[in-house]
Structure 1
């Protein structure tokens, strides 16, 4: 098995830039995932985020999770459970409008540090989108513009904990799926593993590395690149010991952004033509909500067949 792609972003500033860009391109084409080190977010900030996230879980969420497990009788499960996930989560929205001040139970220092962390991740996401543009031969800023909509991108964070599970062979932490959106930036636990992606029909571990940010591509990047880059099925396994922290931030198109394959890439493909549909992102999300844990291809087919809620007009060329 090839080794999981790890990208040292400092190498983008020197003579190894060309080789590093090739590794990123290969990761986008063949893995849908890669891991970043030296990404510019300080270790101190990441350590504080981790410490406060774990404290918040212990103080505010652990007991609630135990009560949910007891009420569902999950500890006594005898057969595989396919309709729920062994995870404790809450969501933060950053763009277009933040809701951090409205989330109950968050200490003030935790709110402050999550705002700072989100600002760093937003900057990193936009830097990565431009690196993808460069690899794809699209003009700088094309992907950011494609995501923009009328109010800018949607950007939010899912903060998850995967507590120890007495029946890890019967219950998934998070069932297999692809992500609906654009670019996902994950700060994961470096001690407790569990994230896996499907590559060439085999499940591959995404290695936990201290202070790294794991990147994966969502369905919208597959559409915009006309299938050159692909979103990849992934899942989270639970462990009998150890609580796994996962902070996944989703840099997604704006709700009214119109998504379609980049004309320059369609032209480059020649006879293959435009393989993916044109649609409003919010319409895709409504469809995805009920079909998250099913294959993505029927979702794309459904969008082809569906009339979007706004007049999409002719495909624009940028």
Structure 2
């Protein structure tokens, strides 16, 4: 056997077993490498089910008669939560249904078929796992496929499944629909921040859109594992579509993990660190994680949205021209991504960009 290449940065991920295949073995106990170190989570408070994340209505935001009140709700959600559920978002029921069906059908394929689209050394795209950089690293109880969708020149069809048959066209159509929602949302966020610069949101019209589909199989000991480790997204804004009614997403709010209960027809919106930087810290990028279920699987479709690569990442000039000092440095998007991919996951990435 050849020697396993060691990842040079976070754009590499070592191959590890499929969790979906492990779950099919009907294990009574979780393999040791998936068991979390509870000492690391000792500060955490148990899930608080008495609170629910904000609910924002995009139709009200776009209606002049109801805009002012709903805009206040949006601004408050971005400022105090960094995460909300969005209804009447404009992505058609058909587009949502088709995307869910194609993702479900992909993960139902035999392992040998899914592995035709497996990741390769030096690339996070494809079927596999993210950010596995050592043989000793604790693993997450999930499988995923990660694909770059927009702009078109970012697509690498080497990693795009040809089965199910409509997977490619459905993903392209769904991502275009999501892009329209993102441009509208960021425009409204600019209004909430009282920004006049249209480039703040127009940069998302030609931005970068990556999609990650996460599959969380049932787990015999769900309390001992994590589906996705606690983290804050590095992109501008994230849209998450649940493919069922099994909850699993949690957001950290005031020291408590709040379970995000799926709402039929809603999309979860999460503020990324680029938006926190561009709002000069007014909007927050929250820590969030995924937990798993003993008897039910969960599938989510996550779209990571970035501004155009020509747009610098830094506090909006209108926010700092008023005399408020910038909290963050200004860098190009390429430099921003380079800094992240060469960072350590244990250290909050956004801290490295502070003055």
Structure-2-length-normalised TM-score: 0.73
Shift of 1:161: 0.8
What are the residue-to-residue correspondences of 1:97-176 with 2, within 5 Å?
97=152, 99=155, 101-102=157-158, 103-139=160-196, 141-145=198-202, 152-176=206-230
Q: Distance in 2 between matches of 1:62 and 1:132?
A: 44
**Contact kept? 1:100, 1:111, Cα under 8 Å:** no
- Aligned Cα root-mean-square deviation (Å): 2.4
SS at match of 1:85: coil
For residue 53 of structure 2, give the secondary structure of its aligned residue in structure 1.
Answer: coil
Shift of 1:124: 0.7
Query: Which residue of 2 is the match for residue 69 of structure 1?
Result: none
Q: In the alignment, which residue of structure 2 is the partner of 1:32?
A: 82
Q: Return structure 1 stretches of 4+ with deviation > 4 angstroms.
A: 60-65, 145-148
Query: Which ranges in structure 2 are unaligned for 5 or more consecutive residues?
Result: 1-49, 116-135
Inter-partner Cα distance in structure 2 for 1:142 and 1:47: 33
Give SS of 2:252's match.
strand
SS where residue 186 of structure 2 aligns?
helix
Residue matched to 2:307: 253
User: Is residue 189–residue 208 contact of structure 1 (8 Å, CA) maintained in 2?
Assistant: no
| Counterpart-to-counterpart distance in 2, 1:251 and 1:127 | 13
**Cα pair 1:258 1:278 within 8 Å, conserved:** yes
Aligned to 1:210: 264
Note the C-alpha offset of 1:2.
4.9
Distance 1:208 1:62, change over 3 A: farther
| Residue deviations 1:274-306 (CA, integer Å, cap 9, x gap) | 1111112222223323434542443324xx5xx
Match of 2:326? 274
Residues 257 and 280 of structure 1 are in contact (CA less than 8 Å); yes or no, is this contact kept in structure 2?
yes
Q: How do residues 1-318 of structure 1 correspond to structure 2 at under 5 angstroms? A: 2-12=51-61, 13-61=63-111, 83-97=138-152, 99=155, 101-102=157-158, 103-139=160-196, 141-145=198-202, 152-255=206-309, 257-268=311-322, 270=323, 272-289=324-341, 290-292=343-345, 294-301=347-354
Give the C-alpha shift of residue 109 in structure 1.
1.4
Q: Is the 8 A contact 1:147 1:257 kept in 2?
A: no
Query: TM-score, length-normalised on structure 1?
Result: 0.81
Q: Deviations over 1:213-268 (max 9, x none)?
A: 11011111111111011111000011112111110101113445321111111133
